[in-house]
Structure 1
Amino acid sequence: MIKYVLFFAFLCPTLLALGQSSPVASVDTGIIGQARYRIDFPANWGQSGGSKRLLLYAHGYETMSSRRGKLSGGWMAPFLKKGFAVAQSAYRKQGWAVSEGVDDTEALRQYFVKKYGQPDTTFITGHSMGGMITLATIEKYPQHYQGALPMCPISDHIYQSLQKHLFTVLVTFDALYPNTLALEKLANGTAQPTSGELIAQKLNADSLTGQQFGRRFAIKYKDLPGVLWFFQEIYRDISQQAGGNPFDNTNTLYGGFSDDALVNRKTVRLAAQPKSRSFLGAYTSYSGKISDPVLLVHTTYDELIPPEIGTGYDAIVRQAGNDPLFVMKFTDGQGHCRFTPGQTEAVFDQLRNWVKAGKKPVAGEVK
């Protein structure tokens, strides 16, 4: 059960909004290329000279072991109530799909314009991997958008962030709890991820080490089984798509543990397959070259994407000289993408006001 709870928290972080009544008046669904899509329209959208507002939404990561997610409009209420049509693509494949997400979202935007006309304003948003797609899109297609709202993404260099956090969590846990994970077999596709239940049993047999391990990575002890299961899923997916292990720790020295020498002595050393390193593609390095306002929001506790890699975009845009177009907000949410409907509505209003009135929001907490 652990893995399913974590999966739904990651894929559908805004399930918190499901209790809201949905102002959906009509829906357009279908397939573009190999990607399913859904467009939700609020009442009176574009009628009698009314406004024609569009929001593109990019969803998060979908595990390869799951059934294909159902595109839903019920939790889009914070955007629909503002008069925005909300368009979302399911992407042409499951798993790691940042490149596909960028391309399929753009194909959906083009379809929308061709069928319904050019919107008055267009924004893009997304959670988690969808937040990465949001950042990549606003850099590649700035001419089509007025602003972007990336929520809880990896916003630093994606390859380096995955190696620094996800891969490091897995290999150092494997060193502290031998014979629990099968990383080499996961990479070559000959093993399944160790279940969260089995990981919990191993942790409970040595809870002191587990608590120290959790503190090292700013992950609550209770969240470790689900995080470790989920990270295995992503590692297996990326390795299989890449044709081998894309990460390399042969020259890495790990620190911050109660016995660093022991951890480094026992850590399995995996070399990256040369062609696998480049698998993540063109959208793994952000340029910071933006020409539209970008408001990024993150929680203060995120068990999957910690704040240090979730908020790295600030340094990137500063280096590019575009910091006047970027602001970061945070909430006290306790978990990955745990934003309330009210917080989502608040940051979206701030972004829209920034675009309309030219007043940049003040960085800080969203209540």
Structure 2
Amino acid sequence: MRRRTVLATLTAATLTAVIPAAPAAADPPGDQPLPGYTISNPPLPPAMVDGRPSRVLQGVHEHAAYDIEVPPRWNGQLVMWAHGYRGASRVLTVEPPSYGLRQRLLDQGYAWAASSYYANDYDVRAGVLSTHALTRRFAREVGSPRKTFIAGVSMGGHVTARSIEEFPRTYDAALPMCGVLGDHALFDFFLDFQVVAQDLADLPAYPPPPDYVTSVVPKIQERLGLNDPAPNALGKQFRAIAVNRSGGDRPGAHAAFAYWQNFLFNLAEPAPGDSLAQQPDRVATNVFTRYTPSTPVNVNRTVQRVRPADPGARHTRRLTAVPSIAGRPNVPVLSLHNIGDMFVPFSMEQHYRKDVARNHRGGRLVQRAVRNAGHCEFSPAEAGAAWDDLVRWERTGERPAGDDVLRPGAPDFGCRFTDPTAYPTGTRPLFPACP
């Protein structure tokens, strides 16, 4: 049974100025959305840069809406922004760079461009191709940039990491934030969460029935004591397995589990449609997964093993809606991730680190941990410092500092690059304040 696995909802502003799609029977021109889609891209007011307005260009290119913004004194360099998951909506929207980066880029002389992508759902292929196509439109409308950077959040991090491998001659450096850098491993984690909980509660329910969230999940939570002040022995084992699968024992892990558990159970709701983009969990498997701890129940002997429903999509190197990331960056990559994130879990960084190291390209990757439990919860200072350090690295060749994401167990892990002035906003109070 096909299920929804939802990534971050990083939506744009209120939807207005809807452009109707061309008739389904027609093959629409590139300045119209694909059949079934509409576009909402309200006018973007120019930003002020040193007392002068920026130049804003908006339109539709190859079925995707776009925004381009150029400062009055352009330095000849471009930043492509890749947005996150838009869900099953059939309205295409554009998102300017977040975390204060839009103004920061313009103040530093950078132009930026962002695409809606030509499709929604979990369609990384659409993100990669639409973003790359927009670089050509920028060259035509503004001029060919001397350098092109790419940055993205959540699913946009997946778009970013695959883009630098798909089009290695286009991009000069990359900044994925809270990104799906472990590609298929994200959907493996969602699968793990359901089948392990079912196994420990002795409530087999995979594939999940239509009433799974309303009827089965409450029984699982009751049997594991997940809603009690402290889980029972089985619940503690489940929590430990979920923590290990999401990045290992690290500061705030138990609090992060409590914060995310209900949301993760809800991901088993049925999804509309039958395409890979609509049901990315078709690539998920746990056939060879080893779960720890294995007491009081040896889950490795009792858990239901699930093969990928779409093994072709799982194993191909082609650019699909849910593509693999080889871990072969040929440009500097600086990533940010929240250590308590269990939606796009911190383990994504660990998978990417191992892939990059296996390809002997570790010198091109710097990773930074931010100490909170939210998804894409960064302060302007955290994102801004990462951007500035990435640019300096690309320009000078001097690799900036980062965290060892494979060793997250120290009590102060995540403190080095966490903005102390952002405490105690958001989910940061789930962690002790950094010294």
Q: Shared fold by TM > 0.5?
A: yes
Q: Does residue 167 of structure 1 match 2:185?
A: no
> What is the correspondence of 1:270-281 to structure 2 with a 5 Å cutoff?
270-273=306-309, 277-278=313-314
Q: Does residue 38 of structure 1 match 2:74?
A: no
Corresponding position of 2:167: 141
The SS at the match of 1:290 is coil
Q: CA deviation at 1:32?
A: 1.8
Q: CA deviation at 1:350?
A: 0.3
Larger Rg: 2
> What is the correspondence of 1:186-197 to structure 2 with a 5 Å cutoff?
191=210, 194=213
Q: Distance in 2 between matches of 1:56 and 1:101?
A: 11
Structure 2 unaligned blocks of 5 or more: 14-45, 244-255, 404-415, 419-435
Corresponding position of 1:188: none
Give the TM-score of the pair, scaled to structure 2: 0.66
The SS at the match of 1:105 is helix
Number of residue pairs matched?
341
Task: Looking at secondary structure, tell me which structure has more helix per residue.
Answer: 1
- Alpha carbons of structure 1 residues 68 and 274: separation in structure 2 relative to 1, 3 Å: closer
In structure 2, which of residues 284, 306, 324 is the aligned counterpart of residue 247 of structure 1?
A: 284
Deviation digits for residues 99-133 of structure 1 (CA, Å, limit 9, x no counterpart): 22111110111111111111233110101111111
Corresponding position of 1:363: 402
Percent identical: 23
- The alignment's C-alpha RMSD in Å is 3.7
Q: CA deviation at 1:317?
A: 2.5
- Alpha carbons of structure 1 residues 309 and 92: separation in structure 2 relative to 1, 3 Å: same
Q: Which amino acid counterpart does residue 366 of structure 1 have in structure 2?
A: F
- Alpha carbons of structure 1 residues 25 and 174: separation in structure 2 relative to 1, 3 Å: farther
Corresponding position of 1:12: 10
Q: Which amino acid counterpart does residue 213 of structure 2 have in structure 1?
A: T
Q: Distance in 2 between matches of 1:245 and 1:145?
A: 31
Deviates more, 1:291-300 or 1:212-221: 212-221
Q: CA deviation at 1:153?
A: 1.8
In structure 1, which of residues 227, 242, 265 is the aligned counterpart of residue 264 of structure 2?
A: 227
Q: Distance in 2 between matches of 1:350 and 1:148?
A: 11
Q: CA deviation at 1:134?
A: 0.8
Q: Does residue 95 of structure 1 match 2:121?
A: yes
Q: Does residue 288 of structure 1 match 2:314?
A: no
Structure 1 unaligned blocks of 5 or more: 1-5, 16-20, 186-190
In structure 2, which of residues 361, 371, 391 is the aligned counterpart of residue 332 of structure 1?
A: 371
Q: Distance in 2 between matches of 1:281 and 1:96?
A: 17
Q: CA deviation at 1:288?
A: 3.4
Q: Distance in 1 between matches of 2:241 and 2:287?
A: 21
Q: Does residue 71 of structure 1 match 2:94?
A: yes
Q: Which amino acid counterpart does residue 242 of structure 2 have in structure 1?
A: F
Deviation digits for residues 241-298 of structure 1 (CA, Å, limit 9, x no counterpart): 5799443445656442654346854x44444345554487625333333332111222
The SS at the match of 1:347 is helix
- Alpha carbons of structure 1 residues 127 and 200: separation in structure 2 relative to 1, 3 Å: farther
Q: Which amino acid counterpart does residue 256 of structure 1 have in structure 2?
A: P
- Alpha carbons of structure 1 residues 144 and 276: separation in structure 2 relative to 1, 3 Å: closer
Deviates more, 1:232-241 or 1:24-33: 232-241
Q: Distance in 2 between matches of 1:262 and 1:141?
A: 42
In structure 1, which of residues 260, 279, 285 is the aligned counterpart of residue 297 of structure 2?
A: 260
Q: Distance in 2 between matches of 1:225 and 1:301?
A: 15
Give the TM-score of the pair, scaled to structure 1: 0.77
> What is the correspondence of 1:142-157 to structure 2 with a 5 Å cutoff?
142-156=168-182
- Alpha carbons of structure 1 residues 67 and 245: separation in structure 2 relative to 1, 3 Å: closer
- Alpha carbons of structure 1 residues 72 and 137: separation in structure 2 relative to 1, 3 Å: closer
The SS at the match of 2:366 is strand
Q: Distance in 2 between matches of 1:309 and 1:180?
A: 28
The SS at the match of 1:334 is coil
Q: CA deviation at 1:217?
A: 1.4
Q: Which amino acid counterpart does residue 317 of structure 1 have in structure 2?
A: V
The SS at the match of 1:183 is coil
Q: Distance in 2 between matches of 1:126 and 1:234?
A: 25
Q: Distance in 2 between matches of 1:314 and 1:172?
A: 26
Deviation digits for residues 227-253 of structure 1 (CA, Å, limit 9, x no counterpart): 232465789877675799443445656
Q: Distance in 1 between matches of 2:287 and 2:179?
A: 28
